[in-house]
Structure 1
């Protein structure tokens, strides 16, 4: 039962370091991220990211995005859809161009450089969600813009990845079939199914669950619905976190959403979500740090600036203040699990040199770790303005 010992260490470290950062008026999630680096092979080597930890981590990010959907105001999401689409589109193009050109200048082949650009195209909003929640900023227009842009961003990143693997004749399938246009049609059908679930299935499903004489029947029903949508999203080639988010949106418009939010928050934040944050840090090592130092520095700077500028200047075009634009830009910086998944696809199918894989993972983790610092800085600046 080695896993139990590792789980105890993770829960203790995430709680203690989270509390430490909270005492200094910083997001607890930063401490949780750093706990994985501390416990993992980068420093102490007490915990390794195995199958069970990865499973807990995957469930944690699904619960996190389900909760984000539960706390989202759909009317605001609709209101800022044009902004979200603009931020997401530019936020995919700039990293592909910036990091792709940089990779090419570091000696990569054109196709390899292009794929590395795609690795940094996707945003992971999971970290930003927690920072926004802790600062009570999730319902502001900056928070809504970040959520909306992250969802659109994930879809666009999947489309770009599908295009790459289809037309480069390299890599594996990034959808149900080998045909990009058929995959795209299937994904469009998925969003049609999401609308049906939102409009008709969720209200009836939750009303029926409420009549069952079973403890927490409403919570169980909500998790069944959310996990089904997450599984279906993954099945058609999208990220499971997209399905989980839409599952939360569907439950949000039912009378039972407050009960669901309270219960799922207790489940998620007591065990699964801390493991998710720690698991990001567990992937970090400094083995290739010295050898690839300049590559790591340049790619980190470009990865941060490309997403930050995309969010900042796009939102300012839609009438956001300068600091609101900074918040949106900072909220889009984190790469997290989406970029890690894309990088894993790349190394599995030999789409870039194996010897830079660790350095890419390090850049992904660094952007994920520093993003809450940047976001928290601009949120505090907004509050003090």
Structure 2
């Protein structure tokens, strides 16, 4: 078969398996994303190793599937931003800042302690803690959208905390790299901070003052799906700018792009088109691809104790850190627990940070599998734990919408998105 035929066969298998897994997961009372993640684990090198079956000879097949899946997470975070309004987001700045910051600092400290107790060199122990500070909010965002609670104050606080988490982890990583390259100086750190600030100022300024004007004029053009195509272009540009200008994750940029488009009259048209495109093809590929990236054969018995310690600290650290930030901000104990659980998933972000450490010699090949196991466990447990806490809250009639404390302008009607 030609490389193209191999790709469409793999895509067909993955999509079919993802939808079957999602359906079975919902039948068992769990979010569909859990089934898609498990399907990826089964199809990956841990069991079937689909990409490397003898009928697939294209050496670039796995890379192509991965890149298509990455488009899926960009669309997912754009849709998450599109469901919100910038006013709602600003009103939750305090909890976002506190939960995002403590959600990095507490796991960083606990992870460093685990590394020291495991007799790792100090720089390796610190980098292990930094790996545990990362968060991949895409898994939680999908779960919250399935539960129709993304626009509660827990959902808004979670997304905001993830943005601050991303900024802080990138800043700490840059500091660590600067130390490794010869010492911590203002000249080494200041450019990192300025890049982030420049991206945020440019992206928000463009989104507030220019984007609505452009969107209105593009929408009336005699071009098929002009508004949708324009939204996709802006989404990709924001993701690209986040990486190149801000040094941040592309998903942060696409989330901001969605937040900006939420202010435009074309919001509904864009959302309907992109939701069909994303959930029909790209997003399932992303979730399955998370499982495809995990190889359970890398886990060794001799690293079992450090693996268990890393997993425990990864879960407890995020719940304590992010949850404490929410509690200080006036959230109830249950809401604080929900926000903390929502920050637990590490997903691809944890693997990216860990890979940087492996490539630079700060994480040994013996420790890296423990981080892989941590990423897998935290990614798998987040959806069912979130669902369990929100189901409990709904049964108690305590779901609090983010802006319910103010006037009728703030009343939010939760809409079914699945």
* TM-score for both structures, normalised by structure 2: 0.88
- Distance in 1 (CA, whole Å) between partners of 2:145 and 2:208 is 27
Task: Tell me whether 1:230 sits opposite 2:244 in the alignment.
Answer: no
1:219 aligns to what?
Answer: 228
Residue deviations 1:59-88 (CA, integer Å, cap 9, x gap): 111111111110113222111101110001
Which segment drifts farther, 52-61 or 284-293?
A: 284-293
Query: Aligned match of 1:335 in 330, 336, 346?
Result: 346
Alpha carbons 1:73, 1:139 under 8 Å: kept: no
Task: Tell me whether 1:59 sits opposite 2:71 in the alignment.
Answer: yes
Query: Aligned match of 1:290 in 283, 294, 301?
Result: 301
2:280 aligns to what?
Answer: 270
Query: Aligned match of 2:11 in 7, 10, 32?
Result: 7
Give 1:47 deviation, angstroms. Answer: 3.2
Which structure: larger Rg?
Answer: 2
Secondary structure of 1:50's match? helix
Alpha carbons 1:115, 1:346 under 8 Å: kept: yes
Task: Tell me whether 1:352 sits opposite 2:356 in the alignment.
Answer: no
Query: Aligned match of 1:322 in 323, 333, 338?
Result: 333
Query: What aligned pairs does 1:70-85 form with structure 2 within 5 A after superposition?
Result: 70-85=82-97
Give 1:313 deviation, angstroms. Answer: 2.3
Query: What aligned pairs does 1:1-385 form with structure 2 within 5 A after superposition?
Result: 1-47=5-51, 50-169=62-181, 179-236=188-245, 237-287=247-297, 288-385=299-396
- Distance in 2 (CA, whole Å) between partners of 1:362 and 1:73 is 36
- Distance in 1 (CA, whole Å) between partners of 2:170 and 2:214 is 30
Which segment drifts farther, 355-364 or 94-103?
A: 355-364
Alpha carbons 1:230, 1:240 under 8 Å: kept: yes
Residue deviations 1:1-42 (CA, integer Å, cap 9, x gap): 322222122111110010011112210000000000011111
* TM-score for both structures, normalised by structure 1: 0.95
Alpha carbons 1:119, 1:339 under 8 Å: kept: yes
Which segment drifts farther, 311-320 or 327-336?
A: 311-320
Give 1:170 deviation, angstroms. Answer: 7.4
Aligned length: 379
Which segment drifts farther, 185-194 or 250-259?
A: 185-194
Secondary structure of 1:189's match? helix
Secondary structure of 1:120's match? helix
Runs of 5+ unmatched residues, structure 2: 53-60, 397-418
Over 3 Å counting, the alpha-carbon distance change for 1:184 and 1:308 in structure 2 is same
1:174 aligns to what?
Answer: none
